[in-house]
Structure 1
Amino acid sequence: MPALTFSKWSPGGNTTLFFPLEGRSAAEQARLARLALPPQNLGGEQAGFVNPRERRLRMAGGEFCVNASRAFGALLAFNENGRGLRQAALEDLAENPRCTGVAKEYHYEVRVSGWQSPLRLIVRGIFPHWRVEAVLRMPVCPLQSLAEGMTLVRLPGIVHVLFNAALHTFPEDCNTAAALLRQRLGLDNEAAVGAVWWRERQGQLDMLPLVHVRDAQTTCLESACGSGALALALSLSRAGGRRDFSILQPGGSTLDVRMFNEGREALAAVDGPVSLVARGQVWLPDDAA
């Protein structure tokens, strides 16, 4: 059972495992994610494979993931900080939880699976907690009204079906309902499909995301979903012209989404917290190696 290096991150509660990218095929990455994600092993909602030197992230199913992209920015800042500073921060935390050093801001450009253009990441904060904003160049993202209160949003690398929870209640058997939905809409060949139930109460948007990743063969009711928040903001923006959104996630944090332009280029930004949970080595069954 070879040991695998890993780190575990919480971008707004959407627990994400990172493993080294080098030397693993797409099929091996998907199999490793299936073994590592269950609670009896590392536990997590999704897994990605990173090459910090080349600033590349590939999700286990080749899908696009905003929150993992944001976590990757925190990982890059973590690496840049240097072992000495991290050790000093750990010693300070042990003696004084409020003493964590001086906040810095980092800027990165990264490439991530599922999205054609590079992402800009802006990282602020102090180890082990940051805020990371992902800035994306927005391609044409088709929206399709499927029924009243039900909209399909096609983002690169993931498709989301949005349900207005005032008209469409959350199903009792969500996994079966989501599988039937994918089949009925012809989405089984998509790299990833999300079903997002949303509502607005007293001016606060909130959402409940369920995400299926085809190659990793995972279906997860997520604590946060960055691409789902982006899809919801895109849909609401086109419907009503609003450009800034604060969307409460099931885990209790908010993701701030803004739509804007730089010159003639349409951009979107997704901002929220990211925390380092754990890092080290894990032993998994031999067939994961």
Structure 2
Amino acid sequence: MAADMLNEEISNDRESVREQSHAEIEYCVLDPTGNITILVTTPVPVELQPRIAAELMWIIPESEQVGFLTHDDSCDIALRMAGGEFCGNASMSAAVYAADKAGAVKSEIVLRVSGSEEPIRAEVEKMSDGSWTGTVNMPRPAKIERVVLPGAGSVPVVCFEGIHHVILEEKIEEARAEEYARMWCRELAADAIGLMFLDRANAKLTPLVYVPSADTICWENSCASGTTAAVAYLASESGAPVRMTLSQPGGGLTVEVSEDGIPRLQGHVRILHYGRTVVTYSSGNL
């Protein structure tokens, strides 16, 4: 397993940051289709992750999300997002990180990811320009249903274990959309919510994601689970397999929903840099 080759990179024997007010954090910054992702390789207790994530996103302002990597004997690598949500782009990024650290140019990686009960399988391959292509078997939606939401009426909602995505085909002013994201997240009792503004005629998607446990709301450059949700909705509407590339601010993501019902995501990832920083926090505020 690739996990055996990562022991020196992610060590559970490192000193815990639980009692520290200054924590030295090692991380990797990746670019999966513009959705800049920080993956922390230093073990961090779950209760500290939202605060550490907020500090890292302040240090690296172009970042849109933070995930935390750990060992898991049942897979190659485990990923927990700061808010405990599921993220397809971060899953692909974690697979690229594992392959890169193992010195592989092509690899199949099995991950445990927050917001998914089942393991996630990813195939990644390094290109001649140093970037990576990846295919991820995404979770099937738990359900796809129409829900009446305040301010929107009856709209499709695609539910995954760790996040609900609302598919919207009419524009909403940005500030109002952010208000709706918070309101609808409570209304749906969701762990996290995405508002996916779908322009099906032009195959475009504009993603807004709100994660209450991490207290983050972001107009993302791309959203893998949101792309999956939109294509899964279109497949359920048509009653037939669908393969579609949706253009987003950071580039295009492709999802295929075939007859077996498993959504498969295809995208690109670049490793931007590895880093180390000291994060200062007050344990009394956590």
User: TM-score scaled by structure 2?
Assistant: 0.81
Task: Indicate conservation of the 8 Å contact 2:205/2:247, yes or no.
Answer: yes
| % same residue | 26
Q: Partner of 2:216 in structure 1?
A: 218
Query: In the superposition, relative to structure 1, how do residues 140 and 180 fare at CA in structure 2: closer, same or farther (>3 Å)?
Result: closer
Report the alpha carbon displacement of residue 26 of structure 1 after superposing the two structures with TM.
1.9
Mapped partners of 2:257, 2:158: distance in 1: 16
Task: Indicate conservation of the 8 Å contact 2:155/2:167, yes or no.
Answer: yes
Q: Partner of 2:6 in structure 1?
A: none
The amino acid across from 2:192 in the alignment is: A
Given candidates 66, 86, 95, the residue that maps to 1:47 is 66
Gap regions ≥5 residues in structure 1: 83-103
User: What SS does the aligned partner of 2:173 have?
Assistant: coil
Task: Indicate conservation of the 8 Å contact 1:171/1:177, yes or no.
Answer: no
Q: Partner of 1:57 in structure 2?
A: 79
Report the alpha carbon displacement of residue 137 of structure 1 after superposing the two structures with TM.
4.9
Q: Partner of 2:103 in structure 1?
A: 81
Does residue 5 (structure 1) correspond to residue 26 (structure 2)? The answer is yes
Q: Between the two structures, name the one with larger relative contact order (CA 8 Å, sep ≥ 6).
A: 1
The amino acid across from 2:198 in the alignment is: W
Q: Partner of 1:159 in structure 2?
A: 164
Task: Indicate conservation of the 8 Å contact 1:36/1:43, yes or no.
Answer: no
Does residue 272 (structure 1) correspond to residue 271 (structure 2)? The answer is no
Task: Indicate conservation of the 8 Å contact 1:137/1:268, yes or no.
Answer: yes
Counting matched residue pairs gives: 254
Out of 220-229 and 2-11, give the one that drifted further. Answer: 2-11
Query: In the superposition, relative to structure 1, how do residues 41 and 244 fare at CA in structure 2: closer, same or farther (>3 Å)?
Result: closer
The amino acid across from 1:192 in the alignment is: A
Task: Indicate conservation of the 8 Å contact 1:137/1:266, yes or no.
Answer: no
Q: Partner of 1:229 in structure 2?
A: 227
Mapped partners of 2:168, 2:114: distance in 1: 26
Mapped partners of 1:242, 1:139: distance in 2: 15
User: What SS does the aligned partner of 1:161 have?
Assistant: strand
After the TM superposition, which residues 1-289 of structure 1 pair with which residues of structure 2 at under 5 Å, given as runs? 1-20=22-41, 22=43, 24-38=44-58, 40-41=59-60, 43-51=62-70, 54-81=76-103, 104-126=105-127, 128-138=130-140, 140-146=142-148, 150-164=155-169, 168-173=170-175, 174-183=177-186, 186-187=187-188, 189-201=189-201, 204-240=202-238, 241-251=240-250, 253-261=251-259, 265-287=260-282
The amino acid across from 2:263 in the alignment is: A
Task: Indicate conservation of the 8 Å contact 1:143/1:235, yes or no.
Answer: no
